[in-house]
């Protein structure tokens, strides 16, 4: 992995890189998998600057999602996985969705300060974690925030773009599967009850990010195994799905959200006995997915980017 700038404190390109690509000996399928929110290395200076406990910070983590989908490597597909936490840097955002409530300095003119995600405290450098808990006792400076973007965010997306472009050149098209997990219940404002969520949510930006056969195959695969599955509600896919999904150019992107109650105890963040079974079921569905015939994914194929 090549990094163009010095990495933020706590990371080292050789011994402690901020992200990794796990590759099969030979890529055999036109699929790329990505786990951008499962990073579990929390830099010491980030922990020191936070007002939250390490356990509270980890509640925003897509715990072990990279492990849930690790079987795809044996199926012949590469897997990009973050090691940095999403509470520190969220690569499923635009590069400059910067929060004016977080930084003391004046933000650059190209910053997107008005997005709904920034308004909710969930920008590229998050101000809050789930349940609207403020992260920082001592917020980062703007220079520190931009260092995360330039030294980690940009190389991460450079790697993902290369993986998609190389796959498209080799196979004629490429499919990105963006892998996530979600809390088992959605908080209901001003109400003690919490609305339960389905087991699986498939997000394709309402049909604009990928060929419909991809979404249909994923939904059918999980449904056949007894899981409750919905499409796009409440998660239709974030920046990654929207940005990388260009079906007319042979680039498809789909997001999969896994209900955390299926495989972990959400109170103490420990994996449960459901984890191995879920891994096996994901392997089955992904094996079915990558077996979709090329003819089922009509598109203007991408020869070069």
Q: pLDDT per residue over 161-195, tens digit each?
A: 999 999 999 999 999 999 999 999 875 454 444 56
Dihedral angle computed from the Cα positions of residues 119, 123, 126 and 131, in that order, rounded to the nearest 10 degrees: 50
In a domain, 133, yes or no: no
User: 6 pLDDT band (50/70/90 cuts)?
Assistant: confident
| Residues 159, 166: Cα–Cα separation, whole Å | 11
Domain containing residue 205: 19-43+54-87+153-296
In a domain, 76, yes or no: yes
With pLDDT > 90 as the criterion, what percentage of the chain qualifies? 89
Are 61 and 38 contacting, i.e. CB atoms less than 8 angstroms apart? yes
Counting the structural domains of the chain, the total is 1
| Residues 81, 65: Cα–Cα separation, whole Å | 9
Q: Is pLDDT larger for residue 305 or for residue 209? A: 209
For residue 10, the model assigns a pLDDT of 94
In a domain, 107, yes or no: no
Question: What b/e string do you get for 190-209 counting C-beta neighbours within 10 Å, with b at 16 or more?
Answer: eeeeeeebbbbbbbbbeeeb
Are 145 and 127 contacting, i.e. CB atoms less than 8 angstroms apart? no
In a domain, 111, yes or no: no
Q: Is pLDDT larger for residue 300 or for residue 31? A: 31
Using a cut of 0.85, tell me whether the model's pTM lies above it: yes
Q: If you search the block for the tokens 């996530």, which residue do you land on? A: 180
In a domain, 60, yes or no: yes
pLDDT in tens, 109-155: 999 999 999 999 999 999 999 778 999 999 999 999 999 999 999 99
Q: Is pLDDT larger for residue 259 or for residue 297? A: 259
For residue 296, the model assigns a pLDDT of 75
In a domain, 241, yes or no: yes
Residues paired with residue 34 on neighbouring β-strands, in sequence order: 80, 178
Q: What letter would DSSP give residue 8?
A: P
pLDDT at 305 over 50: no
CATH code, 200: 3.40.630.40
For residue 190, the model assigns a pLDDT of 44
For residue 300, the model assigns a pLDDT of 46
In a domain, 248, yes or no: yes
In a domain, 100, yes or no: no
């Amino acid at each position: 992995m090549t990094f163009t700038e010095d990495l933020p404190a706590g990371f080292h390109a050789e011994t402690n890189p901020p992200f990794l690509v796990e590759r099969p000996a030979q890529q055999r399928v036109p699929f790329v998998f990505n786990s951008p929110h499962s990073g579990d290395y929390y830099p010491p200076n980030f922990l020191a600057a936070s007002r939250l406990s390490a356990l509270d910070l980890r509640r925003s983590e897509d715990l072990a999602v990279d492990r849930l989908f690790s079987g795809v490597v044996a199926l012949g597909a590469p897997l990009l996985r973050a090691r940095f936490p999403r509470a520190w840097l969220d690569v499923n955002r635009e590069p400059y969705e910067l929060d004016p409530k977080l930084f003391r300095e004046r933000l650059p003119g190209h910053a997107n300060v008005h997005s709904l995600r920034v308004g909710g405290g969930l920008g590229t450098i998050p101000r809050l974690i789930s349940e609207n808990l403020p992260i920082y006792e001592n917020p980062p400076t703007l220079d520190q925030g931009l260092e995360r973007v330039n030294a980690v965010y940009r190389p991460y997306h450079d790697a993902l773009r290369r993986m998609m472009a190389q796959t498209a050149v080799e196979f004629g098209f490429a499919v990105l599967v963006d892998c996530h997990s979600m809390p088992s219940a959605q908080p209901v404002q001003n109400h003690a009850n919490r609305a339960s969520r389905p087991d699986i949510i498939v997000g394709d930006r309402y049909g604009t990010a990928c060929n419909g056969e991809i979404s249909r195959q994923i939904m059918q695969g999980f449904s056949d195994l007894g899981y409750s599955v919905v499409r796009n509600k409440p998660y239709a896919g974030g920046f990654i799905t929207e940005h990388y999904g260009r079906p007319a150019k042979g680039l498809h992107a789909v997001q999969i959200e896994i209900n955390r109650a299926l495989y972990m105890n959400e109170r103490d963040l420990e994996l449960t006995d459901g984890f191995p079974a879920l891994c096996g079921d994901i392997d089955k569905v992904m094996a079915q997915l990558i077996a979709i015939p090329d003819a089922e994914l009509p598109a203007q194929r991408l020869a070069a980017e």
